[in-house]
């Protein structure tokens, strides 16, 4: 259902929220459970549409899913994996598509993956080419969905990736679980390492040296998983608290794995008031509560190794930069053009409509901060959940109300967004 919303300037942003489960970790919890041949209890999973695409697919591959309550479910993989009766719908989810391609390439049956209009435009060569080196067989047109996967025996390779991408890495590691010999993946900078941490947690034969990960054929063990809160969802609340005058919020249960926490480093570099409290470990992932208060932000430079550590937060960091003192430069982020939308163009176009001073570069953005944004305009979200939520945050500090068209796209990762925002923001 189409939902256009209006966002007004916030009077106050105060209180405490608990952030819902991490999307990346939930995908992995669902998929890896499907490989255990046993029964796994998963607590605090993401209810976003992307993770639901993964859950439906593993059911089609023979897993049964039983909900204990709203926050916990069992995945029973005793009869998995088996050939599905029809093609598998990845919806809007790049992570489902790329990881599933690796998981399915070495099975002894054939499958077909398809997705929505946006997903059908996104590049698959980054996973198809290395998997072909492992012996995998596919049918596709120009490396786009739909992709047919002809399950076959795979052999390990030592792959050097020019991209720092957790989707490509995880795809190859999943293929490697079922391949002869050793499968290694080396990347220029370290991308999110949830796959590595969960493989260790579930007993896979995995070795990590700097930016190189190697895996040998292994059977994942059925161990219960609790999913940490999503720092990429928390990012919208962190940014909002930094820019709404007088704001002070506590965001509980946020995953702070250092391969994801680049936004915390950027907030500190911008002079933001952020405190990391009550650090603990949940299912091999670091979690904390985060307190954020309104701050006079200054500009910064964001480039190089930090990019994969905050790749999904760049749209909302751009909002912070639009209100910071000075000129912020974001570079080395060209892969942002291959996300749910071209996020570089989307951010430039739509924040400009709100009055931001923002220039587009081939691999990033140059943003000169202003004291306030005018607003009073209507923005598009490009069918992209993170663009929609970044616009919402910008709307909280615009002089005049803004309209965001098709805000329903937030359901892809964060269906609870509006409810949580209205619980702290007035
Ligand atoms: C993800 C990896 C990132 C990220 C995406 C989720 C994952 O993509 O942008 O939202 O869960 O592995 P890339 O690996 O393509 O950078």
Both 46 and 183 in one domain: the answer is yes
- Is 357 tagged catalytic? no
| pLDDT tens digits for range 151-171 | 999 999 999 999 999 999 999
Q: How many structural domains does the chain have?
A: 2
Residues 170 and 127 in one domain: yes
Rounded to 5 degrees, φ, ψ at 86 are -155, 170
Cα–ligand 1 centroid distance for 167 (angstroms): 5
Those residues whose C-beta lies under 8 Å from the C-beta of residue 142, and which sit 6 or more positions away, are none
Q: Rounded to an integer, what distance in angstroms lies between the CA atom of residue 322 and that of residue 325?
A: 9
Pick from 250, 261, 321, 322: nearest CA to 289: 250
- Do residues 174 and 292 both lie within one domain? no
d(CA 274, CA 268): 7
Domain limits at 365?
5-21+228-424
Do 366 and 238 have their domain in common?
Answer: yes
DSSP characters over 70-107: SSEEEEE-TT-S---SS-EE-TT-HHHHHHHHHHHHTS
Q: Shortest CA distance to 287 belongs to which of 250, 253, 317?
A: 253
Distance 417 CA to ligand 1 centre (A): 20
Mean pLDDT, rounded, for 204-229: 98
Instruction: State the average pLDDT over residues 234-253.
Output: 98
Considering the domain architecture, whether residues 11 and 53 belong to the same structural domain is answered as no
pLDDT value of position 291: 98
Q: 300 and 412: one domain? A: yes
Residue whose CA is at the smallest distance from ligand 1 atom 9? 312
Per the prediction, the chain carries an average pLDDT of 98
Last residue of a domain, one of 176, 208, 226: 226
Residues 270 and 325 in one domain: yes
Report the CATH number that the domain containing residue 57 is assigned in CATH: 3.65.10.10
d(CA 302, CA 308): 11
The ligand 1 atom nearest the CA atom of 28: 11
Task: Return the structure tokens found at 317.
Answer: 């960091």
| pLDDT given for residue 10 in this prediction | 98
pLDDT score at 278: 98
- Structural tokens at position 75: 């995945």
Give the Cα separation of 176 and 397 in Å (integer): 48
Tokens of 234: 């928390």
Name the domain boundary from 205, 226, 247.
226
Is residue 191 within 6 Å of ligand 1 at its C-beta? yes
pTM above 0.95, yes or no: yes
Query: Which element (helix H / strand E) includes 182?
Result: strand 182-186
The residue out of 170, 200, 226 marking a domain boundary is: 226
């Amino acid at each position: 259902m189409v939902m256009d919303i209006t966002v007004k300037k916030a009077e106050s942003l105060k209180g405490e929220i608990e952030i819902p489960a991490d999307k990346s970790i939930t995908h992995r919890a669902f998929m890896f459970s499907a490989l255990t041949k046993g029964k796994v209890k998963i607590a605090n999973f993401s209810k976003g549409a992307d993770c639901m695409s993964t859950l439906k697919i593993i059911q089609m591959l023979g897993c049964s899913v039983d909900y204990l309550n709203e926050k916990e479910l069992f995945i029973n993989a005793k009869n998995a994996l088996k050939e599905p009766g029809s093609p598998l719908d990845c919806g809007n989810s790049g992570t489902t598509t790329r990881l599933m391609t690796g998981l399915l390439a070495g099975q002894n049956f054939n499958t077909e993956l398809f997705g929505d209009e946006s997903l059908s435009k996104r590049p698959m060569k980054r996973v198809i080419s290395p998997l072909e080196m492992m012996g995998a067989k596919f049918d596709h047109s120009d490396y786009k969905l739909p992709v047919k996967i002809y399950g076959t025996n795979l052999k390990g390779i030592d792959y050097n990736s020019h991209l720092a991408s957790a989707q490509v890495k995880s795809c190859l590691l999943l293929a490697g679980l079922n391949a002869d010999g050793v499968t290694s993946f080396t990347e220029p900078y370290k991308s999110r390492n949830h796959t590595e941490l969960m493989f260790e947690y579930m007993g896979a034969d995995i070795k990590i040296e700097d930016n190189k990960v190697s895996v040998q054929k292994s059977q994942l063990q059925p161990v219960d998983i609790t999913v940490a809160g999503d720092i990429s969802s928390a990012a919208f609340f962190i940014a909002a608290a930094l820019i709404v005058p007088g704001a002070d919020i506590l965001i509980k249960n946020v995953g702070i794995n250092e391969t994801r926490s680049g936004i915390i480093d950027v907030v500190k570099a911008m002079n933001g008031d952020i405190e990391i409290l009550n650090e603990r470990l949940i299912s091999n992932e670091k979690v904390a509560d985060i307190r954020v208060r309104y701050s006079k932000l200054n500009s910064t430079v964001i480039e190089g190794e930090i990019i994969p550590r905050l790749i999904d937060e760049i749209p909302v960091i751009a909002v912070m930069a639009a209100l910071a003192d000075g000129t912020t430069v974001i570079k080395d982020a060209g892969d942002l053009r291959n996300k749910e939308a071209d996020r570089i163009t989307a951010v430039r176009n739509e924040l400009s409509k709100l009055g931001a001073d923002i220039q587009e570069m081939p691999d990033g953005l140059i943003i000169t901060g202003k004291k306030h944004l005018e607003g009073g305009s209507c923005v598009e979200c490009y069918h992209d959940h993170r663009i929609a939520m970044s616009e919402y945050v910008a709307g909280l500090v615009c002089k005049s109300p803004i309209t965001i068209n098709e805000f329903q796209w937030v359901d892809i990762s964060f269906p609870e967004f509006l409810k949580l925002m209205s619980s702290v923001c007035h």
